[in-house]
Amino acid sequence: MKNSIKTFVCALALVATAFTANAEDKETKKAAGFGTGIYSTKSGKINVLVAKNSSDAATTLLLKNEKGEVVYHETVAKNNQKFGRTLNVDDLESGKYEIEVISKGEKQTKTFEVSEQKSERILAIK
């Protein structure tokens, strides 16, 4: 009798643990309302790709400098579930920047830095 009660309690604990883990997985999946892919190209531009799970909210794309000032702003209509933008950063000054993608209260951020390579100066007397 004692063994069957212990077995029942262990089984109940195992089922409760599995249920809790499954509920946490569902909450994690539900929390991610969109995915982003942000990467640089060989030509020095930045590609921003966004795939939303639903079309119930507009998406805002921001590019901020290290002072927090917005240097680029775009709002994409809510019916666009998948979209991509290529950002030309040739005219940006050297410094640190941040790309923010915001949709339905959720924000994903990626940082990057623009720097210039100093060329070597050569003086030749002929």
- pLDDT value at position 90? 87
* Domain assignment of residue 57, yes or no: yes
Q: What mean pLDDT is reported for the chain?
A: 79
CA distance 52 to 76: 12
Residue 26 lies in a domain: no
Asked whether residue 98 is assigned to any structural domain, the reply reads yes
Torsion of Cα atoms, 91 then 96 then 102 then 107, to 10°? 170
Number of folded domains that form the chain: 1
**In-domain check, residue 83:** yes
16 in any annotated domain: no
pLDDT attached to residue 121: 76
Q: For residue 67, what pLDDT is reported?
A: 94
Distance CA 27, CA 30 (A): 5
pLDDT 10s digits, 32-91? 688 999 999 888 899 999 998 888 889 999 999 999 999 999 999 988 889 999 999 888
Say if 8 falls within a structural domain. Answer: no
**Tokens at 110, concatenated:** 């990626």
- Domain encompassing residue 46: 34-114
CATH number of the domain within which 87 lies: 2.60.40.3080
